[in-house]
Structure 1
Amino acid sequence: MDVKQLKALVTVAEVGSVTRAAELLHLVQPAVTRQIRTLEEELGVSLFQRTRQGMRPTEAGEILVDRARRALNELERARAEVQPRPGEVTGIVTLGLLESTSDLLAEPLVSAVGVAHPGVELRLLTAYSGHLQQWLDDGDLDLSLLYNLDSSPSLNARPLVRERLWAVAPTAAGLRADRPVPFAEVAARPLVMPASGHALRTLIDGAAARSGVAMDITVQTNSLRVQKQLVLAGHGWTILPGVGIADDVANGALSAAPLSEPDVWRSIVLGTPRYGRVPPAVEIVARELTRLIDSAASHGRWPSARLHTPDGPGADA
């Protein structure tokens, strides 16, 4: 089993065609077919099945493709780290960002790292906290923003910031940052909610239970952007973290107010694996990300956010 065979395996799985894979790998089709067949003979299993839709991995093939992809990524990362320019940190860093934070953090982070450390290649993935935590556990991320998570046997969780959840409505509702709105009042409105199972939905359901009210949910979605679009279209109110609606409120597209009775907070942490060495490039990205979050919270660009301090309001992560 060699690198060329693994590249052929992963490429065929991704494009579903030996012909297309050969084009991408700059090989002739028989060479790719031979590499796949050699792998199958070595392992004693079939790795692909041919269907009308193209080449599809078998169950064994899916397992090997997953492992091969990670192996190839690690080789690529190692090559970047061991071939630095003099005095320059190099490497590939894969960072997970919560979807709600991407508008605030993604571009400034890319700019900051690009200017100060051009040898560091950033790869950004956005998703919900549960997905990001799984990817971090699986080794697909080097570090990730997560929320309401404590350190675990496999992960370190460094608390960064604590933020309040907000009621979000069309501008005609006239919600204001200086006038918190009781949860019961929000629950009585038609609501566009995160889908069940989403960690944010768990927070909201907990607030509903504490306030003793039932929510009038009209639609559920797994997309923050769809939540906001449906509110804009008049399908109801929603509940989101302040960072996810800061720009929309600032430009007058939506109105929002912090939730009260009860207040609902979430804690943002920086998750990193407990095991293995931390490459210098990962340390750099973690430092730049933390600096950006500190700046955003300190200068009011992250609504109702409080920086974590060991004995302060962010301590109960």
Structure 2
Amino acid sequence: MDTRQLRYYAAIFEHRNLSRAASECNVAQSAISHHLSNLETELGVQLFIRKPRGMEPTAAGIKLYEHAKLILRAIGAAEQDMKQLSDEVSGDFAIGLPYSVMQTIALPLMKTVMEDFPKVRLSIVESLSGTNFSNLLASDVDLAFFYNPQKDDRISMVPILEEQVLCVGKRDIVGDTDEPLTFDQLTTLPVLLLRQGVYSRALVDRPALLTKLEAKAPLHLNSVAGIITGLTAGLGCTIAPKVFVGQQLRDGILHARPVIKPSLSRTLYMGHLRERPSTRLQETMVGLLRTLIANEVRKGTWEATLFEAG
């Protein structure tokens, strides 16, 4: 097995079609088919089930693709690292950002990369924290940010900041006052929550408290836009940091009240795969992201407490 076979195989897996895979790899279809047959013979397993309308990967085929992605990304990173021995940072880099982080630093991030690092091809993937976590494990992104992640030895995680979580909604639902409300009072309100599991865990990493809220929540959504639409329409309230609905709070559409007994907070982490060696490009992007986040916190546009860089 060599890297060319793995590249051809990854193309077949992603397209589920020999002709399209051959076109992407700029080789004849017969060559792609020949490499696949040799690979199956070499490994002693069937990788695809051939069907009239395409190719369906077997369990072995799916497993090989997972390995192929990691190997090809590692080779790409090694190639980039060698090229980056020159003065200019260059290469492809993908970052997974949750909605709150996207809202706050995406624009300065894009501007800085375009102006200061013209040879960097940046991909930004906006997803809920749980999806960012999964995307990192699948090597779909090189670096990811997520709130209150589960522990996983495959990922190296660094805490970036901690922010207060408040009750947010229209004044006629949460009350026309800045006084705190207790958690027990919060459970009597119509709370709109992200879908159960790792998505809701990103709001508050306290399973017992979340269970109480989830039991009474009238709506569970797997959509940030859906939550915000419901809030502005007066369907209910939610628990979130100010940065989550910063513009709506500034415009007076929504109102925020602190929660006490207990108070609520969440921690933002940055993570990357342990098994992938750090590159100059990654180190540059990590430094840039930490700087941009720190700038927003120090300006007061992001109400949070920064953790010291380790």
TM-score range, shorter chain: 0.7 to 0.9
Contact kept? 2:196, 2:214, Cα under 8 Å: no
Secondary structure of the residue aligned to 1:45 is coil
CA drift at 1:177? 8.9
Separation (CA, whole Å) in 2 of partners of 1:161 and 1:29: 51
Pick closer, same or farther for the CA change 1:282–1:216 going to 2, 3 Å. Answer: same
CA drift at 1:132? 3.8
Contact kept? 2:195, 2:221, Cα under 8 Å: yes
Pick closer, same or farther for the CA change 1:34–1:153 going to 2, 3 Å. Answer: closer
The amino acid of 1:32's aligned partner reads I
Secondary structure of the residue aligned to 2:146 is strand
Contact kept? 1:13, 1:57, Cα under 8 Å: yes
What TM-score results when the alignment is normalised by the length of structure 1?
Answer: 0.82
Separation (CA, whole Å) in 1 of partners of 2:62 and 2:127: 23
Q: Is 2:216 aligned against 1:221?
A: no
The amino acid of 2:205's aligned partner reads L
Unaligned stretches of 5+ residues in structure 1 = 311-317
User: Pairwise mapping of residues 163-242 of structure 1 onto structure 2 (< 5 A)?
Assistant: 163-170=163-170, 173=173, 178-198=178-198, 199-200=201-202, 203=205, 205-207=207-209, 216-242=216-242
CA drift at 1:2? 2.9
Q: Which runs of 4+ in 1 moved over 6 A?
A: none
Paired residues, number: 307
Pick closer, same or farther for the CA change 1:52–1:232 going to 2, 3 Å. Answer: farther
Determine the structure 1 residue equivalent to 2:82.
Answer: 82
Separation (CA, whole Å) in 2 of partners of 1:6 and 1:306: 45
Determine the structure 2 residue equivalent to 1:262.
Answer: 262
Secondary structure of the residue aligned to 2:217 is strand
Determine the structure 2 residue equivalent to 1:16.
Answer: 16
Separation (CA, whole Å) in 2 of partners of 1:270 and 1:84: 23
Determine the structure 1 residue equivalent to 2:27.
Answer: 27
What TM-score results when the alignment is normalised by the length of structure 2?
Answer: 0.83
Secondary structure of the residue aligned to 1:50 is strand
Separation (CA, whole Å) in 2 of partners of 1:84 and 1:177: 55
Q: Deviations over 1:257-279 (max 9, x none)?
A: 33233210112233345566422
Contact kept? 2:165, 2:259, Cα under 8 Å: yes
Q: Deviations over 1:185-206 (max 9, x none)?
A: 3321222112221213653654
Determine the structure 2 residue equivalent to 1:95.
Answer: 95
CA drift at 1:171? 5.9
The amino acid of 2:289's aligned partner reads L
Separation (CA, whole Å) in 2 of partners of 1:155 and 1:44: 32
Q: Is 2:7 aligned against 1:7?
A: yes
Determine the structure 1 residue equivalent to 2:105.
Answer: 105
Determine the structure 2 residue equivalent to 1:305.
Answer: 304
Separation (CA, whole Å) in 1 of partners of 2:22 and 2:166: 51
Determine the structure 2 residue equivalent to 1:41.
Answer: 41
User: Pairwise mapping of residues 31-70 of structure 1 onto structure 2 (< 5 A)?
Assistant: 31-51=31-51, 54-70=54-70
Separation (CA, whole Å) in 1 of partners of 2:21 and 2:129: 34
CA drift at 1:28? 2.9
Contact kept? 1:16, 1:54, Cα under 8 Å: yes
Pick closer, same or farther for the CA change 1:309–1:18 going to 2, 3 Å. Answer: closer
Contact kept? 2:148, 2:202, Cα under 8 Å: no
The amino acid of 2:307's aligned partner reads H
What is the root-mean-square deviation of aligned Cα atoms in Å?
3.2
Q: Deviations over 1:110-143 (max 9, x none)?
A: 2223322333333333444444445545665543
Q: Deviations over 1:54-89 (max 9, x none)?
A: 211111111111111222222222233322484212
CA drift at 1:165? 1.0
Overall identity of the aligned pairs, in %: 27
Q: Deviations over 1:243-297 (max 9, x none)?
A: 2221332344433333233210112233345566422211111111111111111
Unaligned stretches of 5+ residues in structure 2 = none
Secondary structure of the residue aligned to 2:102 is helix
